[in-house]
Structure 1
Amino acid sequence: MTPTHGTGGLAGDALGAADVPAGDPGAEYDAEDRAEDRSEDRAEDRAEDRAEDRAEDRAEHPAEQEAELHADFLAEAAHWLHGLLGPADRATAAVRRILDVGSGPGVASRALAEAFPQARVLAVDRSAALLARAEARAAEHGLADRITTQQAERPEEFARSGPVDLIWTGNVCRHLGDQQAALRSLASALRPGGLLAVAERGLPPRFLPRDIGIGRPGLQARLDAAVEEQVTARRSRLPGATSVVEDWPCLLASAGLVPAGTRTFLIEFPAPLDVPVRRHLHTRLHGLLADVGERLDLVDRLTVEQLLDGDACTGVLWRPDAFYLTAVTVHTARLCRPLESA
């Protein structure tokens, strides 16, 4: 298990204020130059304000909040995949086409593009809004010419762009009725020798002590149990829902691939948390209450409401004991020969 620490992009005060660089006190200009400079400064200020507004808008979307927290893990995972594909020079040269399935706001797409600088990445998701964020993120990091997007919803659409050298998919199969069929669709998009990386499950996020001083101890465990019940209920209603043992190396082998390795990445932000992590936890708790609140008893629902109280010292936005700890497991497999047609 590899720990991933750091607060890349997460440090900041409660108001999100940024330091304003001081001007050069020794500079002397005539009136015309000063007016021109003030105009340029105002334009720069407006551009900075728009950038801050865009950052604030991104922070409001749960998928983007979580993706930002996982950015370091995604970069490390991309580096690990680079190593699985062979020596650095050979892997870099060999990987020219990458598919990011379930790309969301494009954080993984960026990590893959940076790890494989000669590759083009196609970000695939069913959300047009998140694909727009992926495009904006690529442009912000100078990757617009190498990261493109495609909207798709069904597994059979995954193979339209093939053959590709590397496929990354994060938490996609769990939302599809027939997970084995989804893996076959992904495998059909690989070229011989290509690699499929499937990030599924791991450990759910932990962010509260067992006893938080309000309600009954063990709230987090009961929330996890309610989520599992909800996931099971939803999976049973998915089109083509098929029950399988979620042994991912075995599922990958059944899709005609050869398992190439599994690795678990630890994502940790210890207490006390920076504001962006707290905001994500607040958003997460709000979503949990809306999603599984009916599965909780009255005491637990009231406890979650207290944790959501932005003005209370017992709320997650202010608690000194709040932390963030989760683990993501990535399973990989290669296509060693073309799949036989059915």
Structure 2
Amino acid sequence: MSADATTRHHGPGHAHGSRGHQHTDIDWEAMADTLENAGDLRVPVLRATAARLRELLAPGHEVRRVLDVGSGPGVMACVLAEEFAGAEAVAVDGTPALLDRTLARARRLGLDGRVGVRHADLSEGLDEGPGTADLVWSSMAVHHLGDQQGALDTLAGVLRPGGVLAVAEAVLPTRFLPRDIGLGKPGLQPRLDALQEEWFALMRTELPGYVAASDDWPAMLTRAGLTGVTAFTTLLDIPAPLPAPARGYLRDFLTRLRESMSESLPAEDRRTLDTLLDPSSPQGIAHRSDAFLLAPTTVFAGVRPAA
């Protein structure tokens, strides 16, 4: 499982499918390009997030080790290494190809020796994991674990006293087109959101060790033994007209939706998606002047109290 910064179940870096068990397994390696592109789009937001996390640490707490759990291609791991210049940053993920991308990214950024990787199946816990840390970051990964509270308990357990656990989740959907795009029935995005919410609910129930729980992240962090629990929301805001990388992300995102939701979408919405994905159509996402990218992400965080 891998993720790197995105929006509720389906924003940049995340795109889930529709109904049916065959759609609930995600091929993270196949999504590597999209995940890294999504992370690149969010680098300015991630840097601001890292600076906010520094402010949450206990006064005088020195950050020597940082974990990015469910790191994907390591975009945030590298951002954290840059923000905490005296710390080792370790990317933890279950997909070896994405860990390879992390190391390649670190080399490109001159972070050799400061960004490491650890292969771990998060569904099996961190019992043989990467050791303790002063900051643990996990973006869009915990909701892929059946027992979310148990996962947070484990992540909080690797914190050193005074350290921070921060979990990023998207509580609102991404928006990238107006309500009426002059094509098909208005309100396409809310209809896509509804289908993805159905998929997400199904995906959760099919996870190994699934435990039903509300998404009360502050309460879960508090039950994990953390104090000073707080939250803040960041916003990726790329206005129209979109640059090529953002259009490329949206094309990949819509392609996955078209492929995975073909049985659930009304015929008119399928035709609309086909037009949006047509590179030769002036109404397609590659040429639209009204396409934008607005993606909120909420970070929930708490501090491990001193012993």
Q: 1:170 aligns with which of 139, 163, 171?
A: 139
Residue equivalent to 1:62: 34
Alpha-carbon shift at residue 109 of structure 1 (Å): 0.6
- Written as runs of structure 1 = structure 2, the 5 A alignment for 1:56-205 is 61-85=33-57, 90-91=60-61, 94-158=62-126, 160-205=129-174
Residue equivalent to 2:209: 240
Q: Measure, in 2, the Cα distance between the counterparts of 1:243 and 1:212.
A: 38
Q: Measure, in 2, the Cα distance between the counterparts of 1:258 and 1:162.
A: 21
Structure with the bigger percentage of helix: 1
Question: Normalising to structure 2: TM-score of the pair?
Answer: 0.87
Alpha-carbon shift at residue 163 of structure 1 (Å): 1.7
Q: Measure, in 1, the Cα distance between the counterparts of 2:67 and 2:291.
A: 36
Q: Measure, in 1, the Cα distance between the counterparts of 2:142 and 2:115.
A: 23
Residue equivalent to 1:249: 218
User: More deviation in 58-67 or 121-130?
Assistant: 58-67
Residue by residue, what CA displacement relative to the aligned partner does 1:71-103 show, whole Å, maximum 9, x if unpaired?
11111000111122256xx45xx1001100011
3-state SS, counterpart of residue 185 of structure 2: coil
Rate the CA distance shift 1:60–1:194 in 2: closer, same or farther, 3 A: closer
Alpha-carbon shift at residue 155 of structure 1 (Å): 4.4
Flag the structure with more relative contact order, 1 or 2, with Cα contacts below 8 A and sequence separation at least 6. 2
CA RMSD of aligned residues (A): 1.7
Alpha-carbon shift at residue 245 of structure 1 (Å): 1.1
Alpha-carbon shift at residue 59 of structure 1 (Å): 10
3-state SS, counterpart of residue 174 of structure 2: strand
Alpha-carbon shift at residue 156 of structure 1 (Å): 4.7
Rate the CA distance shift 1:71–1:217 in 2: closer, same or farther, 3 A: same
Residue equivalent to 1:47: none
Q: Measure, in 2, the Cα distance between the counterparts of 1:198 and 1:276.
A: 26
Moved over 6 A (4+): none
Structure 2: state its 5+ residue gaps: 1-29
Structure 1: state its 5+ residue gaps: 1-57
1:208–1:323 Cα contact (<8 Å) kept: yes
Which residue identity does 1:71 align to in structure 2? V
Q: Measure, in 1, the Cα distance between the counterparts of 2:295 and 2:38.
A: 11
Which residue identity does 1:131 align to in structure 2? L
Count how many residue pairs are aligned between Structure 1 and Structure 2: 277
1:314 aligned to 2:283? yes
Q: Measure, in 1, the Cα distance between the counterparts of 2:280 and 2:31.
A: 20
Which residue identity does 1:302 align to in structure 2? R
Residue equivalent to 2:4: none
2:145–2:151 Cα contact (<8 Å) kept: yes
Larger radius of gyration: 1
Alpha-carbon shift at residue 260 of structure 1 (Å): 3.3
1:303 aligned to 2:272? yes
Q: Measure, in 2, the Cα distance between the counterparts of 1:83 and 1:256.
A: 20
3-state SS, counterpart of residue 71 of structure 2: coil
